[in-house]
Amino acid sequence: QVHLVESGGGVVQPGRSLRLSCAASGFTFSTYPMHWVRQAPGKGLDWVAVISYDGTNKYYADSVKGRFTISRDDSKNTVYLQMNSLRPQDTAVYFCARDPGFCSGTSCYIYWFFDVWGRGTPVTVSS
Amino acid sequence: EIVLTQSPGTLSLSPGERATLSCRASQSVTSNYLAWYQQKPGQAPRLLIYGASSRATGIPDRFSGSGSGTDFTLTISRLEPEDFAVYYCQQYANSPRYAFGQGTKLEIK
């Protein structure tokens, strides 16, 4: 069965850092792009970042660019989100999500929708 | 920049009724790259529909998606108790390629 399990959330003061992890199982992790999507309390879904299947391409929402870094370790079937200089408005549940991806010829691409989601890890930024 | 607007904000219906949820884009969605997600309280979103009308794996056939261009619809033919949730549309063709609608809450009448 396909599973994504996030961890690493918690309560942190403004300006501090936190690293989230998302462990994948049940599929060939190294062949899929992976995203982080967040949801502030009582609000809608807000995309954060994506990493391509091979880690060469990374894209970020403007709101986190320069502060957050997405990475992956295929030997551990895990995607990470390093969050620095945290702000109160970063308070949210952070979900990791799988992108189905697609390949055309010898090139593979991010599809930009989310076919499997984890249950999320909450992050609270407060003094 | 494409903006998705969902309507209504809240839809109150009874089990067994038909639900029709709308998602309107501010510009045409290329190749009908439009997805729908269901989210229940305290749970992760679940992919229902992609490509405007293709059901994701394991999704019951009472869920259907339709539309093209700027107007898309999610229809639930006969509501089951477990269908009451928040539904989001998302387009993945145009910049920004991750734009979500604001959601429609489907509640029990």
At a CB cut-off of 8 Å and minimum separation 6, what does A66 contact?
A: none
| The pLDDT of residue A54 | 92
- Across the interface, whether the CB atoms of A45 and B37 are under 8 A apart is answered yes
**Number of CB atoms found within 10 A of residue A80's CB:** 20
Partner-chain contact A47 B56, CB within 8 Å: no
Interface residue B35 vs chain A (CB under 8 A):
yes
The sign of the CA dihedral A94, A96, A56, B91 is: negative
Determine the residue type at A16: R
Cα gap B12→B78, rounded to integer Å: 14
Q: Are A47 and B47 a contacting pair at CB < 8 A?
A: no
**pLDDT tens-digit series, residues B36-87:** 999 999 999 999 999 999 999 999 999 999 999 999 999 999 999 999 999 9
Cβ of A114 and B33 within 8 Å?
no
**Interval B8-34: pLDDT, tens:** 999 999 999 999 999 999 999 989 999
Confidence label for A102 from pLDDT (cuts 50, 70 and 90): confident
Query: What part of A 34-93 touches B (C-beta under 8 Å)?
Result: 35, 44-47, 50, 61
Whether B13 and B96 have beta carbons less than 8 Å apart is answered as no
Indicate which of B33, B47, B102 best probes the interface with A, i.e. most A CBs within 10 Å of its own CB: B47
- B37 has a chain A CB within 8 A of its CB: yes
